[in-house]
Amino acid sequence: MAKILLNNKRIIAKDALIAKTFLQKMRGLMFRRKAVPIWFEFLWERRWAIHSFFVPFPFDAVFVDAEGRVVDAAERIMPFTMRITPKKSCKFLLELPAGSVGKFKIRKGDNISVLL
């Protein structure tokens, strides 16, 4: 579990799961009963596409580059959306409950950091 900070001061997730293994990354929010914050780290930076098959609720996705800057955010991704691709390359992905991007006013260029 980890804390996720916005601009090094505001906690946006207290108990975020860290998807470390291939299976954890592949599962993400699939087959869960409710949205929980999940932090993904990819092997390299690129425009990683995600989907929401088998995710029975809407959620937000925040795409973050290797320097920890938000490069894109998708709000209220609906269940069974085929493809969500950021506009720029990312190294990290943060999945959050729907409405979190608006609630915390997460914007492109903001800094996201993780405290383990």
Instruction: Tell me what the pLDDT averaged over the chain comes to.
Output: 97
Whole-number pLDDT of residue 39: 98
pTM of the model: 0.96
> What DSSP character marks residue 83?
-
26 — alpha (psi -120 to 50), left (phi > 0) or beta? alpha
pLDDT digits (tens, 9 = 90+) for 33-83: 999 999 999 999 999 999 999 999 999 999 999 999 999 999 999 999 999
Whole-number pLDDT of residue 61: 98
Tokens at 112, concatenated: 């996201």
Residue 68 CB partners (closer than 8 Å, separation 6+) = 92, 111, 112, 113
Domains, in order of start, for the chain: 2-115 (2.60.120.1140)
